[in-house]
């Protein structure tokens, strides 16, 4: 989400930056009539309505407007703004972040892509960091013996400048001056529609009601910075395709002093991969299993279609000859079984329900 000083509220409302409060109100009323979700059913109208409401909530209030103007011009207002530091990046910092490998001497054959997010919002919003996931390709020999591999990767680490809090002063967070700590702002629509209040999320604190008191110049207030890191992953002997090695706390640091995520290394052994038709064969068999069990333990009867479906699954598994020694079909089997189970339970519930009413 773009932070407050990235948005041009004046152009959103179609007014000049020296417009009077009266002009701002008139322009908002005109646009609100045009985009109110009850009136305008076009895609995007609701988003537009939120946007103009947010712009109006800030610009119609003299104090908020003054703060907003000061933030945009980079002038300090009411103390501690760092100029130009709050531009926002793209994407979500709390989803998994794959990372990049550099030409490190023992970087293995891992692959990954990197998404970068610069969280520089002033909002005080402590959240746990996400896991960093990494794919490690091994041949069957290495997986059998076990290996230790060094990996270089990029992750968010706690900012040393502010000890991860995001604030350089001792008072880490304060009540958001824009919304007064509620996390939202109200726009009165009664002058336009006769009634109604519309609530928008506060753009300065992003809904948390708190802002970092004195944003750290090093991390911009988030309490974490991107950094290169190294780790040695110990893959134990007798590992197989799909195994996971988790290193607690070696993932992305959380924001404003929150806990870090984990480093998760997934072992990939090519020779253990199933052919896609075999994998779907196992999935089909897995899918049918709950129905077979149901017919054993109740008077539910498996239909001809289910039997044919299961037969097709078995044919898929063996059509290229028997699956080779080291393969691990249980994952495909479980995937199929879990979706089969949901459907079987649903059908069982309907079946018992109908039986209860005498439909058989
Ligand atoms: Zn706020
Ligand atoms: Zn910092």
- Whether residues 313 and 203 share a domain: the answer is no
Q: Tell me how far the alpha carbon of residue 211 lies from the centroid of ligand 1, in angstroms.
A: 7
> Given this model, what pLDDT does residue 103 score?
26
Residue that is last in its domain, among 192, 212, 232: 212
Residues in the chain: 360
Q: Which ligand is nearest to the CA of 164?
A: 2
Give residue 343's pLDDT: 84
How far apart CA 7 and CA 89 sit, in angstroms, is 13
Between the CA of 221 and the centroid of ligand 2 the distance, in Å, is: 6
> Considering just the CA atoms, what is the radius of gyration of the chain in Å?
29
Burial class (CB in 10 A: 0-12, 13-18, 19+), 41: exposed
Q: What is the pLDDT of residue 342?
A: 86
Would you state the pLDDT for residue 39? 86
**Domain with 17 in it:** 4-79+173-212
C-alpha separations of 301 from 96, 137, 337, 351, 358 in Å: 44, 45, 18, 11, 17
- Which residues have beta carbons under 5 A from ligand 2 (an ion)? 159, 161-162, 216, 218-219
CATH number of the domain residue 27 falls in: 1.10.287.110
- Which ligand has its closest atom nearest to the C-alpha of 4? 1
> Which residues lie near ion ligand 1 (Cβ < 5 Å)?
176, 178-179, 202, 204-205
Ligand nearest to the CA of 54: 1
3-state class (DSSP) for residue 262 = coil
Q: What pLDDT is stored for residue 130 in this prediction?
A: 93
Res 276: pLDDT: 81
In a domain, 312, yes or no: yes
34 within some domain: yes
Query: In three state form, how does the secondary structure of 41-71 look?
Result: CCCCHHHHHHHHHHHHHHHCCHHHHHHHHHH
Specify if 343 maps to a domain: yes
Dist. CA 184 → ligand 1 center (Å): 6
Do 196 and 300 fall within a single domain? no
DSSP element (H, E) containing 339: helix 330-356
pLDDT of residue 225: 92
pLDDT reported for residue 317: 82
Are the C-beta atoms of 271 and 240 separated by less than 8 Å?
A: no
For residues 180 and 304, membership in a common domain is answered with no
Give pLDDT, residue 328.
61
Q: Report if residue 103 sits inside a domain.
A: no
The pLDDT of residue 281 = 85
Q: Across the 360 residues of the chain, what is the mean pLDDT of every consecutive 10-residue run?
A: 77 94 93 90 91 93 88 54 30 34 29 35 85 92 92 92 86 86 90 84 89 86 90 92 92 93 92 81 86 79 83 84 61 82 82 64
In a domain, 340, yes or no: yes
* Claim: this prediction has a pTM higher than 0.75: no
Total structural domains within the chain: 2
pLDDT in the model for residue 15: 95
Distance between Cα 200 and ligand 1 center (Å): 10
* Cα 46 from Cα 317, distance rounded (Å): 50
- 140 in a domain, yes or no? no
Instruction: Give pLDDT, residue 250.
Output: 95
Residues 75, 207 within the same domain: yes
In a domain, 344, yes or no: yes
Ligand 1 centroid distance, CA of 210 (Å): 6
CA of 72 to the centre of ligand 2 (A): 22
Asked if residues 203 and 209 have their Cβ atoms less than 8 Å apart, the reply is no
Q: What is the pLDDT of residue 118?
A: 35
DSSP annotation of 270: G
Asked if residue 148 is part of any domain, the answer here is: no
């Amino acid at each position: 989400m773009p932070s407050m000083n990235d948005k041009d509220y004046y152009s959103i409302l179609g007014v000049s930056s020296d417009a009077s409060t009266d002009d701002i109100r008139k322009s908002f009323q005109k646009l609100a009539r045009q985009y109110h979700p009850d009136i305008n059913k076009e895609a995007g109208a609701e988003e537009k309505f939120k946007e103009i409401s947010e712009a109006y909530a800030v610009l119609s209030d003299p104090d908020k407007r003054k703060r907003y103007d000061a933030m945009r011009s980079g002038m300090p207002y009411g103390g501690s703004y760092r100029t130009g530091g709050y531009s926002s990046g793209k994407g979500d910092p709390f989803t998994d972040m794959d990372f990049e490998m550099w030409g490190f001497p023992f970087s293995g054959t891992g692959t990954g892509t990197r998404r970068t997010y610069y969280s520089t919002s002033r909002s005080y919003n402590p959240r746990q960091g996400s896991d960093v996931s990494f794919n490690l390709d091994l041949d069957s020999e290495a997986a059998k013996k076990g290996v230790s591999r060094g990996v270089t990767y990029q992750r968010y680490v706690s900012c040393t400048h502010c000890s991860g809090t995001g604030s350089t002063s001792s008072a880490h967070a304060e009540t958001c001056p824009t919304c007064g700590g509620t996390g939202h702002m109200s726009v009165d629509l009664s002058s336009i529609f006769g009634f109604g209040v519309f609530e928008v999320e506060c753009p300065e604190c992003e809904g948390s009601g708190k802002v970092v008191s004195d944003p750290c110049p090093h991390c911009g207030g988030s309490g974490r910075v991107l950094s290169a890191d190294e780790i040695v992953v110990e893959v134990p002997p007798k590992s197989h395709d799909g195994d996971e090695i988790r290193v607690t706390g070696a993932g992305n640091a959380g924001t404003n002093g929150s806990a870090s995520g984990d480093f998760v290394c997934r072992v990939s052994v090519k020779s253990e991969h199933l052919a896609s038709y075999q994998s779907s064969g196992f999935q089909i068999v897995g899918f049918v299993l709950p129905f077979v069990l149901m017919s054993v333990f109740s008077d539910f009867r498996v239909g001809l279609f289910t039997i044919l479906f299961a037969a097709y699954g078995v044919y898929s598994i063996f059509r290229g000859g028997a699956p080779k020694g080291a393969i691990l079909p249980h994952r495909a089997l479980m995937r199929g079984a879990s979706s089969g189970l949901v459907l079987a339970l649903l059908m069982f519930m309907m079946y018992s329900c109908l039986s209860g009413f005498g439909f058989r």
